[in-house]
Structure 1
Amino acid sequence: MDHQNEQNLISVIIGKTQGNPLYFTEILIDQGYFFNLVPLKKIKKAIKKSKILVIYGPITISRKIEKKITKFVENGGSLIIFGEVKGLEDILGCNYIPLGMHPYPIGGTLHNSIGEGYLQFDENNNTDNPMKQSINNIINRELSTDYFPLHGFGCLPVELEDAIVIATYIPNSKPDRKYPAITVKKCGKGISISFNPDVAKTVRHIQEGIYIDKDGIPPADGRAPIDDGILKCEDGLVLDWLKDRRTISKHKIDAFLVPVADIWKTLVAKMIDFAADHANAEIERIMHWPNGADFVMMISHDTDGNNEKLARGFLNEINSLDIKTTWCLIPPGYSSKLCEEIESFGHELAFHFDTQSYQIPNMFSFEVLKEQIEETLENTTLKQFYSNKNHYTRWEGRIEFFIWLEELGFKVDQSKGPSKCGTLGFPFGTAHPWLPMDKEGRIIECLEIGFQSQDLGLQGPKDTGKDIVDSVKKIRGVCHFIFHPAHFSNLDVRQELRNLVHYAKEQGAQFMRSIDIGEWYFARRKYIQTNKNCAIDQVTLNKMILEKRNCVKNCWEKII
């Protein structure tokens, strides 16, 4: 594929090369956009070569650079500001409101943020303003009104001068106050957009969760008893039991059906699309999945109990459905003969870390993880594992476990998902694979592929499967269900597995194993990061579908 015109690349300037500003580039990669990461000192070159300039603060802009950016916009360029970028208030049409320091500070750094709250688009968005109407049309094309109000974890307080408000942010601490969240201003021939919510922090906070060293607090409905004395992923979730769940099923199950983090990523994408249309920048992006598939379906099986009779029956069932799946081996795993048989049908063998079956102190440790991996590899005669899922979604700490997996050569984890009926869906706000970040601001090269449900007809009502598939398809994510071979004798579970697979195929899902998703993700990520300037095998390259922005029709079109 040819290199695209540099004027159709997005120029991105970040305030820091680590932490949340760096994570913002992961959002762009997730959405498939090609971009150039430009140092602030080279901004003159950037605005000569690009029609879209994105700046992610905190940054202070000098008067000299401010003049260059103003001229860039007035001549038809599009400017998008994320976070606090001082020196561009005039062109943005809004001013930052400094929050007062408490008179009795006890240390730390003041962050100019109004904290946790919800983003809401104006209910009366039918307007005669053509610019506002245009941006609303782009947003409404993909994002359902049911996604809003949208949970956020930080927003810059600003006051308007002459910008137009597209969306507002209502802080939990001041529910009667609305702050401008997204604004747009016409400047000469160009536009400037101010995106005030802290999108990178919000996405990371929802996906990674909080530090886990005690039980979480359950909702009052009794369907998510996460205070069960077992430390697990859900004990770190930060979404709201009341505001962030939606009711599904004839049994009235409240589930996390809004992929909150993914909606924030999509909002970033919609701002870029609008900016491209206005600047007539025919930017390019890669579609999320091989051959342009709408979404991916992944089925995994945790081999709890390692009953080989049930496993063989289950293997026959899976093979009859003509899909390839991921089998997570709990120590010591199946016999080498059965493992060979499973692999011979094209299925993946992964690891299932077990710190729940043994009542031993300090089981959740790097040493125990390494010992169990070595034991299972020896028993099964396998060489290595690519992927892991923790038994019972066990978890402690925050991102330390990802670092352990990275050190041991794993590329994928699958542990983040629901262990309770009341946490079905997206308790960590996403159906997209994502990379965590350590406390030093470094990207950890271990991909999280979360799951949404398990053993339909047993853990949750039978009629929840289609709702989850539909929700994942809308956001072009990975629909990941667990079915345990230990429940092969349960006729309801077997039938719901068949129903789910047939429905996913009808909806256009591409079935992939965790290793397939991981290899695709890292190849796609590298291709975007290098602006197509990297070595990728031809088979993978042929599956990458590029799209170009049609700025006249305001839509994406495949590049043939």
Structure 2
Amino acid sequence: MTRSDVGLVIDTATVTAHHQAGRHAHGLHALEVLDHLRQPYRRLDALDLTGADDLAVLVTAELGPVTPEQRDALEAWVRAGGVLVLGDHDLSLAGLAGVTTAPAEFGRVDFADDPLWTQRPSRPIRAITGHQLTPTGDDVSVLATWADAQDTAAITRRPLGDGVVFCLGVAVWETLVTLLQGHPVTEDGRPAADGSAPLDEGILKAEDGLAFDIDADRQLPPGEPDLPGGRYEFGYPPPYAAPLFDLPQADLWAIAVAQLVWAGLDHVGSANGWLHYWPAGVPAMAHMSHDSDGNIDEEGQAALDAFAEADVKVTWCQVYNVRKYSPEIYDKITAAGHEHALHYNAMDDADIAQWGWEQIKGQYEWAQELIRTDTKIISNKNHYTRWEGWTEFYQWCEQLGIQLDESRGPSKIGSVGFTFGTAHVGFPMGDVELANRPMDVINLPLHTQDLCWASHASSRDVILDGAESVHGVAHFLFHGPHLLRRPLTRAACSEVAQAGRARGMRWWTADQINTWERSRRRIDVAVTATDTGWTVEVTAAAELAEAGVVLTLPGVGDGEVTVSSGTGSITPVVRHGRTFHELAVDLTPGTHRWELAAR
């Protein structure tokens, strides 16, 4: 069994109680955070430290009632050198952290200038709920504060014996799920006060469930002037920039959790590793999609030409309506190496263009037939980012075999950017009726569409920079009519492609991203210190070329690390503001070992 230095407590009785009461067990999302990171961990179904001598860090995500004996055992474990990260909703063990708690509502959290935060948000970021923390002694240091609540503590650190206790006053798992997935969509969302995001147009869409404060959580792109008179007046192309969701705030919360875990492993001097999100040496990824709205040959050909000029293979979402492209256009799409996907239409402008299972099933079958290839469609984007409910749509995708959806993003110039707080792919949490199981559909976020027409040119670098900063994927959507008739948008297509490549990003289709993420989720990493260096063991249940195994090797400093046994190369890299060593390897199914030495 692979040794794990991280334990994750998800009390199964507590999870069951939540579900029986009709409540989400948000702590289950901790599994998704660590699974996406590929940080080795062991799940504990209760707060039982029997046999936990190998654990360096213990994270609480769902915690039941704690007995005095359990509390005493946990305190003894910490005092003996363990690192405890309190992340459960109730914080019943806050006393170990040296704090008292009081309820905190929807607010923003400001991260302190502390060396622990190697990747620190540039401004306060949104939290859905949690606790205000009040230190009870001088041994507690404050790592973050509630910016909207007299700067009361939101995250703290306390040394306890030879160990450390971190306390997350933020309900981090609920915050992550709610920012990423929003609220159930049953009615129009609140429009932006400045007029730039009129969400109340009478069409249900993903943004209508937005969990962010649409006024407080956006910023203008750097260097852009304030809105004249505080109001946005629409024009095409946009006459000036609108505020946008400039930070991938959900990703920053997930990274904050990772940094606490890494700080705990540093505290005990443990060598450890995880798996880079993309091929070794690639800092972030880029994705371009195209929606076939109208299905007009001239527009389809213009899109083919534009993507050839940009040298990008795109995910081409085929929309159901009264027209089709000619067969030659579909064949050209295939020949150019683009991915055929579905563009599910629930805009009520054709006979089966409504929201429902029978409708999407019929449209999927229609699209599969018209693309004139045996390749199965596995990706989708909803026309106009249509959405209803919370996760029922993902069940439809599972039934159809759609493995990736890229619908969740902006429909308005004032809601572009990181609308749902993320540049990362992941598996959404299912509803309570599904016991909050992960949906077997990857979410690939959408960030903007039709630069220099539906969004201002200044949003481009905000999105690229934000995605690069968290090592995520930047997603740009284009439409054939604008690539045909809008010279600025046609030029912007090639320009964004080059700008991404200049950052070291690769342009991948949704199919490539889906295959990569599902493969890397089947890779496990273990690192063990030896007398001469370290042994890295990777167990792969799938093939993964150019994998980047990201390593913390205590004591190396500025020294050189070499691969003394095994095939691969190793180089220093910076990920999330920390210096790691990245072992670049080609993985095939099986167990692989490398011996590393420092000199």
Q: Shift in Å at residue 121 of structure 1?
A: 3.0
Alpha-carbon deviations, 1:232-268, whole Å to 9, x = none? Answer: 1111112112221011145242000011111111111
Q: Shift in Å at residue 74 of structure 1?
A: 1.8
Task: Pick 1 or 2: higher relative contact order, CA cutoff 8 A, min separation 6.
Answer: 1
1:330 is aligned to 2:325: no
Indicate the residue corresponding to 2:570 in structure 1: none
The change in CA–CA distance for 1:380 and 1:478 in structure 2 (over 3 A counts) is same
Superposed counterparts of 1:24-35, under 5 Å: 24-35=30-41
1:22 is aligned to 2:28: yes
**Any conservation in 1 of the 2:385–2:408 contact (CA below 8 Å)?**
yes
Q: Which has the higher strand share?
A: 2
Alpha-carbon deviations, 1:418-469, whole Å to 9, x = none? Answer: 1111011011111111222222211111111111111111112223212221
Choose the corresponding residue for 1:73, options 73, 78, 97: 78
The change in CA–CA distance for 1:158 and 1:465 in structure 2 (over 3 A counts) is closer
Indicate the residue corresponding to 1:460 in structure 2: 455
What secondary structure does 1:545 align onto?
strand
Indicate the residue corresponding to 1:512 in structure 2: 508
What secondary structure does 2:116 align onto?
helix
Alpha-carbon deviations, 1:163-206, whole Å to 9, x = none? Answer: 22221225xxxx45444211111112211111121111111111
Choose the corresponding residue for 1:479, options 469, 474, 479: 474
| In 2: Cα distance, 1:397 partner to 1:84 partner | 25
Q: Shift in Å at residue 90 of structure 1?
A: 4.2
Residue-pair matches, total: 518
The change in CA–CA distance for 1:58 and 1:316 in structure 2 (over 3 A counts) is same
Indicate the residue corresponding to 1:404 in structure 2: 396
| In 2: Cα distance, 1:231 partner to 1:176 partner | 34
Q: Shift in Å at residue 529 of structure 1?
A: 9.9
Q: Shift in Å at residue 158 of structure 1?
A: 3.9
1:270 is aligned to 2:259: yes
What secondary structure does 1:181 align onto?
strand
Superposed counterparts of 1:190-201, under 5 Å: 190-201=163-174
Indicate the residue corresponding to 2:530 in structure 1: none
Worse overlay, 180-189 or 15-24: 15-24
1:244 is aligned to 2:223: no
What secondary structure does 1:493 align onto?
helix
Indicate the residue corresponding to 1:304 in structure 2: 293
1:374 is aligned to 2:373: no
Indicate the residue corresponding to 2:234 in structure 1: none
Worse overlay, 236-245 or 31-40: 31-40
1:503 is aligned to 2:499: yes
The change in CA–CA distance for 1:349 and 1:367 in structure 2 (over 3 A counts) is same
The change in CA–CA distance for 1:176 and 1:484 in structure 2 (over 3 A counts) is closer
**Any conservation in 1 of the 2:280–2:582 contact (CA below 8 Å)?**
no
What secondary structure does 1:373 align onto?
helix
The change in CA–CA distance for 1:546 and 1:534 in structure 2 (over 3 A counts) is closer
The change in CA–CA distance for 1:277 and 1:121 in structure 2 (over 3 A counts) is same
What secondary structure does 1:291 align onto?
coil
Worse overlay, 344-353 or 376-385: 376-385
Calculate the TM-score normalised by the size of structure 1: 0.87
| In 1: Cα distance, 2:78 partner to 2:398 partner | 43
Superposed counterparts of 1:91-490, under 5 Å: 91-97=96-102, 113-122=103-112, 125=113, 136-139=114-117, 141-145=118-122, 148-162=123-137, 163-170=140-147, 175-248=148-221, 249=224, 251-331=240-320, 333-356=324-347, 358=349, 363-383=354-374, 384-440=376-432, 441-489=436-484, 490=486
What secondary structure does 2:523 align onto?
helix
| In 1: Cα distance, 2:92 partner to 2:367 partner | 58
| In 1: Cα distance, 2:82 partner to 2:176 partner | 28
| In 1: Cα distance, 2:353 partner to 2:579 partner | 54
| In 2: Cα distance, 1:86 partner to 1:118 partner | 19
Indicate the residue corresponding to 1:105 in structure 2: none
Q: Any gaps of 5 or more consecutive residues in structure 1?
A: 98-112, 126-135
**Any conservation in 1 of the 2:408–2:445 contact (CA below 8 Å)?**
yes
| In 2: Cα distance, 1:190 partner to 1:559 partner | 30
Give the AA of the match of 1:428.
Answer: F
| In 2: Cα distance, 1:205 partner to 1:176 partner | 21
The change in CA–CA distance for 1:245 and 1:84 in structure 2 (over 3 A counts) is closer
**Any conservation in 2 of the 1:155–1:169 contact (CA below 8 Å)?**
no
| In 2: Cα distance, 1:508 partner to 1:283 partner | 26
The change in CA–CA distance for 1:176 and 1:472 in structure 2 (over 3 A counts) is closer
| In 2: Cα distance, 1:506 partner to 1:138 partner | 30
**Any conservation in 2 of the 1:334–1:380 contact (CA below 8 Å)?**
no
**Any conservation in 2 of the 1:277–1:550 contact (CA below 8 Å)?**
no
| In 2: Cα distance, 1:300 partner to 1:550 partner | 40
Alpha-carbon deviations, 1:262-311, whole Å to 9, x = none? Answer: 11111111111211111112121111112241111100000111112332
Alpha-carbon deviations, 1:334-356, whole Å to 9, x = none? Answer: 34443232222221100001122
The change in CA–CA distance for 1:499 and 1:520 in structure 2 (over 3 A counts) is same
| In 2: Cα distance, 1:475 partner to 1:89 partner | 30
Indicate the residue corresponding to 1:39 in structure 2: 45
Give the AA of the match of 2:213.
Answer: D
Q: Shift in Å at residue 87 of structure 1?
A: 6.4
| In 2: Cα distance, 1:315 partner to 1:357 partner | 28
RMSD of equivalent CA atoms:
2.4
**Any conservation in 2 of the 1:62–1:87 contact (CA below 8 Å)?**
no
The change in CA–CA distance for 1:361 and 1:289 in structure 2 (over 3 A counts) is closer
Indicate the residue corresponding to 1:100 in structure 2: none
Give the AA of the match of 1:27.
Answer: V
Alpha-carbon deviations, 1:399-426, whole Å to 9, x = none? Answer: 1111111111111111111111101101
Q: Any gaps of 5 or more consecutive residues in structure 2?
A: 17-24, 226-239, 527-536, 558-577, 585-599
The change in CA–CA distance for 1:462 and 1:85 in structure 2 (over 3 A counts) is closer
**Any conservation in 2 of the 1:276–1:551 contact (CA below 8 Å)?**
no
What secondary structure does 1:488 align onto?
helix
Choose the corresponding residue for 1:494, options 490, 497, 509: 490
Q: Shift in Å at residue 89 of structure 1?
A: 4.2
| In 1: Cα distance, 2:514 partner to 2:365 partner | 22
Alpha-carbon deviations, 1:450-498, whole Å to 9, x = none? Answer: 1111111111222321222112111111100011122222211110111
